[in-house]
């Protein structure tokens, strides 16, 4: 018999303080083998994994790793962003797209798509009915091909990059860090953080990968590289 | 005190116990085929993903050390987490056991629904903690419907059966079966599947997308688990692939997160270790598609009412055991399942536990009490593969041996074991047998099979000399030699 599930709220809660002190007391008793003068710092955590990664071609690595997730990466020079955005929206058939507050207006000069702002906040139904979303990112991770959104300027609240089926994200080369520790160090923990590594995916049916169950099925990353000549193939 | 009362509601334990359930599972060739395919595929991917990180061993070392530090100073970190979450606008609740936790959730859901709402519904993102406490059933009893939103969990829920793998809970289902389940059951829960639904995984995923989107857009309360919680900042992390997590964590007005007390880590920075260890060990990806981190509430974004429930439910008993406590470090990656020869042949259902495989074999007896799950510590070959795969270096074989001793001890104390070790050993032998030998064994064990395993694998009341088996029968002590020696000798006898 499955137990514990029969008392769905019939009785009163026991006073909250009771459970709190009971659990904490049990926790303290359970570790009675730990010397009372031991502090957390007395239990060493070796951080030898935090080697500084040699500054290799993080931009190239990031692009390759994003592409591994079956997302599209398009590199362009700062002056070509607007054209690239326009071309991608056209290619994806995204006619009505949401643009969060703070998204650089100069990236929008070439597209004739119907741009929808989020002030006042759009209803979830409305958001679910648009074709796509344009955002920037706050940091990107080369080693894992991850973009991180923290709801700052140009990124909007979390629902914006979730409900529409298409997400176009503009990442500047200098936002790319080599690895996960470096990324966390740059982030502000009190902001809502969304790490995105490729489009939504599932492998729940016979382990066959299917893109997009709930999140955007298509992710395009526009990578803005100041110097697109030679050094960055 | 009766057998079950002291550990009531801690971990779901299905009947029958492992030996009989394993026997049933073995007879299911499709299950074994699916499992082997899944475990080998994921295994290979995991090795690629972990092999690519030059400092992998150092990461494992750090992960184990962070968990060790946390366990030894758990009260400090829990209090710190409570303070951080509260400061960020969340509310923290403490639950001593399953009943306690379920009551709190039901009360919060009712309060969030508003006094005039008749229909209480919640959306859920896959969570082992809520499975462990039987939350869905408790909510149902309280008149609240809980919708599982992970695709595999949806398949399991609509099919009215149980998850069989931590990572791919519906691995025991084929696409044709899934189509059948969707076509028949979706309409009863909400938006029906399209009439022309095929068994193409793409079409099935699309049907799930449409079915669930309705729920996401209208449901006011969501329930999640947590992968990690940073004590210093109060930041909670949920790792997922499909986006159902993001839906639950951002769209509803109220979010209730149920988290085992062992999930706390000291600092936000510590997440850098686990966000590397978990995806590579679990799905063999460099990073899972989505990771959500949030701290309390954010005005204008996401739920404006956030509740964190800190769940004990037997974890402090595990903590008490200086050998067994390391099992609390588990980050539920399922790597140990995929390398385990016993699991590969029996699947998750056989363990009768929310936590299957090697980690289930050590965690379940500790959470539920060794007497209730006495056979589980024997459901292993002690080959050590699980220890090698574990990203936080839990010495599962060491705990298994430790728990075996405890099981024997419990018997010596005159407390009868519900499952004789000898039977467990016998079943494990069967489990590990080659298919050819399996048939022989099944025939040889036909008499036993008639006695022990009904058609559905359920133990009925045993006839004859075995009548008192489940409660009082004095059983022979397990062999003293290691399983492998014993197994080899036993095989040669055949
Ligand atoms: S015991 Fe280790 S390998 Fe197994 S699920 Fe837990 S963390 Fe993963």
Quickly state the pLDDT bin for A13 (edges 50, 70, 90).
low
| Average pLDDT over every residue of B203-218 | 91
Structure-token match 């408790």, residue found: B138
* Count of residues in chain B: 494
Quickly state the pLDDT bin for B12 (edges 50, 70, 90).
very low
Residue B222 to residue B302: CA distance in whole angstroms? 11
* Count of residues in chain A: 233
Q: Is the CB of B327 under 6 A from ligand 1?
A: no
Say what the pLDDT of residue B34 is.
78
Ligand 1: which of B363, B391, B395 to mutate, most ligand atoms within 8 Å of CB? B391
In this predicted model, which residue has the larger pLDDT, A110 or B439?
A: A110
ipTM, two decimals, is 0.91
Quickly state the pLDDT bin for B33 (edges 50, 70, 90).
confident
Position B364 pLDDT exceeds 80:
yes
Between the ranges A66-70, A138-142, B332-336, where is the mean pLDDT highest?
Answer: A138-142
CB-nearest to A215 from B138, B141, B243 is B243
- Contact list in B for residue A8 (CB cut-off 8 A) is 102-103, 106, 137-144
- Do the chains contact at B271 and A158, CB–CB below 8 Å? no
Span B267-284, pLDDT tens digits: 999 999 999 999 999 989
Position A186 pLDDT exceeds 60:
yes
Quickly state the pLDDT bin for B480 (edges 50, 70, 90).
very low
Q: Which of B61-70, B223-232, B406-415 has the lowest mean pLDDT?
A: B406-415
Q: Chains A, B: CB contacts under 8 A, how many? A: 316
Mean pLDDT, chain B, whole residue set:
79
Residue A20 to residue B295: CA distance in whole angstroms? 21
CB-nearest to A33 from B15, B302, B322 is B322
Say what the pLDDT of residue B160 is.
85
Residue B212 to residue B66: CA distance in whole angstroms? 38
Angle at A23 between CA A17 and CA A29, to 5 degrees: 130
Position B485 pLDDT exceeds 90:
no
Angle formed by the axes of helices B175-189 and B151-158, nearest 10°:
80
Span B441-473, pLDDT tens digits: 322 222 222 223 222 322 222 222 222 222 222
- Contact list in B for residue A203 (CB cut-off 8 A) is 168, 241, 283
| Average pLDDT over every residue of B197-210 | 91
Between the ranges B234-248, B402-416, B474-488, where is the mean pLDDT highest?
Answer: B234-248
H or E element in which residue B182 lies: helix B175-189
Q: Mind giving me the DSSP string for A23-82?
A: HHHHHHHHTTTS-TT--GGGS----TT-PPPP---HHHHHHHHHHHTT-EEEEE-GGGHH
Position B220 pLDDT exceeds 80:
yes
Residue B464 to residue B469: CA distance in whole angstroms? 10
A4 at B interface, C-beta within 8 A:
yes
Ramachandran angles phi, psi of B275, nearest 5°: -70, -15
Q: Is the CB of B333 under 6 A from ligand 1?
A: yes
Position B146 pLDDT exceeds 90:
yes
Position B24 pLDDT exceeds 80:
no
Q: Mind giving me the DSSP string for A121-166?
A: PPPHHHHHHSSEEEEE-SEEETTTTEEEE-S-TTT--GGGGTSSSE
Angle at A217 between CA A197 and CA B121, to 5 degrees: 95
Q: Is the CB of B64 under 6 A from ligand 1?
A: no
Say what the pLDDT of residue A3 is.
37
Span B377-397, pLDDT tens digits: 887 778 899 999 999 999 999
Span B345-363, pLDDT tens digits: 777 777 767 788 899 889 9
| Average pLDDT over every residue of A111-128 | 96
Q: Which of A189, A191, A209 has the highest number of chain B CBs within 10 A, making it the mutation to test binding with B?
A: A189
Span B44-103, pLDDT tens digits: 999 999 999 989 999 999 999 999 999 999 999 999 999 999 999 999 999 999 999 999
Say what the pLDDT of residue B40 is.
87
Position A98 pLDDT exceeds 80:
yes
């Amino acid at each position: 018999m499955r137990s514990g599930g029969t008392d769905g709220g019939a009785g009163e809660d026991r006073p909250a303080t009771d459970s709190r002190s009971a659990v904490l007391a049990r926790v303290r008793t359970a570790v009675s083998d730990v010397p009372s003068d031991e502090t957390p710092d007395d239990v060493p955590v070796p951080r030898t994994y935090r080697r500084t990664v040699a500054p290799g071609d993080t931009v190239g690595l990031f692009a390759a790793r994003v592409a591994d997730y079956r997302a599209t990466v398009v590199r362009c020079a700062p002056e070509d962003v607007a054209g690239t955005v326009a071309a991608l929206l056209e290619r994806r058939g995204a006619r009505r797209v949401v643009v969060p507050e703070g998204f650089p207006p100069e990236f929008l000069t070439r597209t004739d798509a119907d741009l929808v702002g989020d002030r006042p906040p759009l209803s979830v139904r409305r958001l679910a009915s648009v074709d796509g979303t344009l955002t920037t990112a706050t940091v990107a991770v080369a080693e894992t091909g991850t973009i991180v959104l923290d709801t700052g300027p140009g990124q909007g609240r979390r629902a914006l990059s979730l409900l529409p089926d298409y997400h176009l994200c503009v990442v500047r080369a200098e936002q790319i860090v080599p690895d996960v520790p470096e990324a966390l160090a740059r982030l502000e923990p009190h902001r809502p953080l969304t790490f995105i590594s490729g489009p939504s995916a599932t492998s729940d049916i016979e382990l066959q990968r299917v893109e997009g169950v709930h999140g955007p099925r298509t992710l395009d990353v526009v990578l803005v590289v100041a110097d697109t000549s030679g050094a960055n193939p | 005190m009766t057998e079950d009362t002291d550990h009531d509601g801690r971990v779901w334990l299905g009947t029958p116990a492992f030996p009989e359930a394993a026997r049933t599972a073995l007879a299911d060739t499709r299950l074994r085929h699916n499992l082997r395919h899944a475990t080998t595929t994921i295994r290979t991917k995991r090795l690629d993903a972990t092999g690519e990180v030059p400092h992998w061993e150092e990461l494992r070392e750090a992960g184990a050390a962070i968990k060790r530090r946390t366990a030894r100073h758990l009260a400090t970190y829990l209090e710190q987490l409570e303070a951080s979450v509260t400061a960020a606008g969340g509310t923290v609740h403490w639950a001593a056991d399953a009943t306690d936790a379920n009551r709190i959730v039901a009360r919060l859901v009712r309060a969030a629904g508003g006094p005039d709402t008749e229909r209480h519904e919640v959306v859920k993102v896959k969570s082992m903690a809520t499975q462990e406490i039987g939350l869905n059933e408790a909510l149902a009893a309280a008149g609240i419907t809980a919708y599982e939103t992970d695709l595999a969990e949806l398949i399991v829920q609509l099919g009215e059966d149980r998850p069989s793998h931590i990572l791919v809970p519906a691995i025991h289902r084929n696409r044709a079966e899934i189509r059948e389940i969707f076509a028949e059951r979706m309409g009863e829960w909400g938006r029906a599947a399209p009439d022309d639904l095929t068994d193409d995984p793409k079409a099935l995923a699309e049907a799930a997308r449409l079915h669930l989107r309705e729920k996401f857009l209208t449901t006011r309360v969501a329930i999640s688990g947590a992968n990690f919680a940073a004590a210093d900042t109060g930041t909670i992390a949920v790792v997922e692939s499909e986006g159902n997590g993001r839906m639950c964590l951002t769209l509803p007005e109220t979010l209730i997160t149920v988290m085992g007390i062992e999930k706390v880590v000291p600092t936000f920075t510590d997440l850098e270790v686990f966000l590397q260890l978990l995806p590579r060990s679990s799905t063999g990806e460099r990073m899972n598609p989505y990771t959500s981190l949030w701290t309390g509430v954010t005005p204008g974004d996401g739920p404006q009412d956030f509740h964190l429930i800190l769940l004990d439910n037997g974890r402090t008993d595990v903590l008490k055991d200086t050998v067994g406590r390391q099992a609390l470090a588990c980050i539920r990656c399922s790597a140990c399942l995929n390398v385990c020869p016993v699991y590969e042949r029996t699947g998750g259902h056989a363990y009768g536990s929310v936590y299957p495989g090697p980690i289930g074999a050590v965690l379940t007896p500790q959470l539920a009490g060794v007497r209730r799950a006495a056979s589980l510590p024997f459901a292993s070959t002690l080959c050590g593969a699980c220890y090698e795969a574990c990203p936080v270096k839990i010495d599962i074989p060491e705990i298994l041996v430790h728990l075996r001793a405890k099981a024997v001890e419990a018997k010596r104390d005159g407390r009868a074991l519900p499952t004789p070790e000898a039977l467990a050993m016998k079943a494990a032998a069967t489990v590990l047998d080659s298919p050819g030998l399996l048939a022989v064994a099944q025939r040889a064990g036909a008499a036993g099979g008639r006695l022990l395993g009904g058609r559905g694998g359920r133990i009925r009341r045993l006839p004859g000399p075995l009548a008192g088996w489940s409660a009082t029968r004095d059983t022979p002590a397990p062999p003293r030699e290691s399983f492998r020696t014993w197994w080899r000798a036993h095989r040669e006898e055949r």
